[in-house]
A and B are shown apart, each in its own frame.
Chain A
Amino acid sequence: MESGTDPRLPTLLGITLRRSMVVGRMSLVIGGGMVVFYSALFGIAGPLFVSVGTVILPVFAVSGGIGGALVFTNDRTKGVLEYLVAYGISPRRILANALIAGIVQVTIILGVGLAAGLTAYLLSGNALTSTLPEILLGYTFPMSYLSVTLMTTIGVFWTSLSSPRSGLNSPLGVLPLIGVLPTTLLMIVAIALGAEASRVLLVGELVVFVLLASLLARTDRFMPTERLLSPA
């Protein structure tokens, strides 16, 4: 029963996205607020926005993208996943929806944050350079997406394999810490190494990608249908 969803069934992506915004609104506001604040701060500081600000942004952006994992955990506890599986929605589809919800939230946070940062940067009399889009497209966006996808995947698998519980003792309680770990470590190492920073960031992205791909390849094992059921 771990096979894919029948193509005639709805994807439920739209409503999952909407629910992730509602359920994860607090983390979205806090994460978004921090990204806007630091982005604007670095924008005013000028060149630091390009060299440091763009590397820091993923740390805060990821912490606001927990909505997909929240929806999954709530749905499991409330017995919603049990219905979806009974109607033929596959665990893979459920996971995909959670991952996309996290990515969309991070996109919103980064979009708003970068708009604020760039505005501050330009209003402070700084000129745009080719380095900025290179870093944004080469690190800020891909690393944010990789990190939020890794965080959501770990959250979904961990929730699936553990008994329902709440608070800091639950997977969700520590999930934001897991999410920001790769970006924070990379940021510290990159800043410490200075000249080798771009290479460190690239290698770091590759490591996260490989880790994520190896986890997703084991979806059926870490997310068996029976682990999506509500407590009997």
Chain B
Amino acid sequence: MTQFGFPILSVITFLPLVGVFLLATLQGEDAQIAGRARLIALVTSLIVLALGLYLWSAFNPALPGYQFVETAPWLAGLNIAYRMGVDGISLFLILLTLFLTPIAILASASITKRVRGFFSALLLLETMTVGMFAAADFVLFYIFFEAVLLPMYLIIGVWGGERRIYAAIKFFVFTLAGSLCMLLALVWMWRNAGSTDIVTLTHTPIPGNVQDWLFLAFLASFGVKAAVWPLHTWLPDAYGEAPIPGTIMLAAVLSKMGAYGFLRFAVPMLPNAAATFEPVMFTLGVVAVIYVSFVALAQTDMKRLIAYSSVAHMGIIIIGIFTFTVEGIEGALFQMLSHGIVIAGLFVCAGVLLSRGEGLVLSRLGGLAARMPAFAALLMVFSLANLGMPGTSGFIGEILVIVGALKVNFWVSLLAATGMVLGAAYMLVLLRAVLFDKFTRPELANLPDLKAGEYAMLLPLAALVLWLGIYPSNFTHVFDAPVAALVQAHTASLMPHTALAMVTTK
């Protein structure tokens, strides 16, 4: 087992299901159920978060490979096993999920119908997402990857906005269509390696011409999830129509699944194809940064503007991953964390306005800084982080990607850096429309400032934004070992002779 004496990863993964079970057994009147359901969900998610922090404290950042590995026989005849493990790449993505679930639960005060079902779906989502990040077996990964769709589909479709059915189906069909391609790739790789263990798969060579096809399959699947341009159009609809807690999970956590997939499968298992497709990925990334930033600038709704800004940031992440440099990949990983926290903060801010009965149409907001100074200050912090202000989390990832990209190509670096201007443009437009100028309507003058529950969501997020921005080493040190190993393996597989020479000189 592991050094804890109990399978900590499985416990973290499946503990939320206990919460779901408790929710199912609740009895009483509707109002009572709602309150209790919220409490049960919150307590469950906090216990899981505590376990996650314990996991972090026991994690050894010096090791590049999987830690806390759990293996149990499962479908033995097919060489598939239940394998769980965590390394420096997945550790913080798991923690991000664990951290944001309680925030999403806190943010769901506006959910009043089918409360029990909603929190069950949210906890189920937590289980599936953590399981997906912790899976060390491809089949297991695939199952969790697909299973994430179900609770999310329900969250959008049942508790969403006006066009929720359209958005939910679009989300479901886009992602499912992509995932089918991954299933085909999975079957091929399984036959090729004779196992679905991720470590085995990583070390099994694949012929060059097949790699390209497999890469395209992965691109279809992970590209949709990561909302790589032009596979991104499901995203604004889904983000826009999902209820705030759903949007938080979708934007902050689920969008990382695609980027994680690239890092876990596409890059290490298909080094030649990844190198072949590098220019394509750079192009897609740069287009995402520039084109989508322009689209964001034209938005008239706060939620959709943030959604598009999210797509633009995914472009930066994609560019970072495909630089195959330590700086670029760590920048991408850091950006994944940062973006998760920042985007959650922004959507919580949007939720604050919704909970006061306001819409999110930008032309009907304005002047809120006067009566809601605390809200204004926190929205400002997240917006600045989103536009990459040094001292906030958003800057570190961005500059690392720019630095990594410059090692490969000057123009990619320069074009990625233009995101700094465009990001500033749409975020400042957003800030002005929401916080500044005069009130567009007199009712806006009567909105109360933040309440205790809202502080409980926003302050931890803001503190994390600053922690990541001022002392990012706590996080980057965990990335160091696996990313260095990844980059080295990538270089070695492309140029076996040089890599050999490097080893001998050492």
Judge: A and B partners, yes or no: no
| Residues on B facing A (Cβ under 8 Å) | none
